């Protein structure tokens, strides 16, 4: 009877454990310094902007921390993130200035899909990140959209980015 209960417990918990390990293994690839370009485009008014981005990720215990800096037309933008596994849920919290947003992460088709924890906003914002080898380097591709209000109503902006993992020899001074 005890063996049967242990067997059932293992069968029930294994998928959550495997999912947790798969997510953590995927997140381990984020560690390091990433440099590249992002672009945003709105079909509603034709606005387009491309800008440089640098992101750094590091682990402290079971938490992946991140720092992102970008040079936008509007000025320097800095954001920080904290990503962790909360039971079966992958969570991230992003702070930029006085604002803070939380997202659920879902591993799907070899990529992380980020959805706002406010599910009503999930129709307005989604981001997909995937790490792939390209041209002999490790790249992080980012695709997503956000919604904003403008004179004629609601519009989407399309977000695209590609970052390259920098090797130790490319890092330079901190």
In tens, the pLDDT along 34-93 reads 999 999 999 888 899 999 999 999 999 999 999 999 999 899 999 999 999 998 899 999
Answer yes or no: is pLDDT of 133 > 70.
Answer: yes
Q: When comparing pLDDT for 84 and 12, which is higher?
A: 84
Q: Where are the alpha helices (DSSP H) in 29-64?
A: none
pLDDT for res 69: 97
- Please give the Cα distance from 125 to 131 (Å, whole number): 21
Q: What region does 172 belong to: left with phi over 0, alpha with psi -120 to 50, or beta?
A: left
């Amino acid at each position: 009877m005890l063996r049967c209960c242990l067997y059932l417990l293992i069968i029930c918990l294994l998928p959550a454990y495997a999912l947790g390990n798969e997510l953590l293994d995927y997140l381990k690839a984020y560690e390091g310094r990433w440099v590249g370009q992002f672009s945003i485009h709105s079909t509603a008014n034709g606005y387009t902007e491309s800008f440089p981005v640098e992101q750094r990720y590091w682990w402290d215990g079971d938490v992946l921390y991140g720092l992102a800096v970008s040079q936008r037309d509007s000025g320097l933008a800095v954001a920080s993130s904290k990503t962790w596994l909360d039971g079966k849920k992958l969570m991230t919290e992003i702070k930029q200035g006085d604002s803070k947003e939380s997202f659920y992460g879902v591993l799907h088709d070899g990529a992380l899909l980020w959805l706002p924890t406010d599910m009503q906003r999930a129709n307005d914002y989604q981001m997909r990140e995937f790490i792939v080898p390209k041209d002999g380097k490790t790249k992080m591709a980012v695709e997503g959209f956000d919604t904003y209000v403008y004179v004629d109503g609601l519009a989407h902006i399309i977000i695209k980015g590609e970052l390259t993992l920098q090797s130790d020899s490319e890092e330079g001074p901190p």
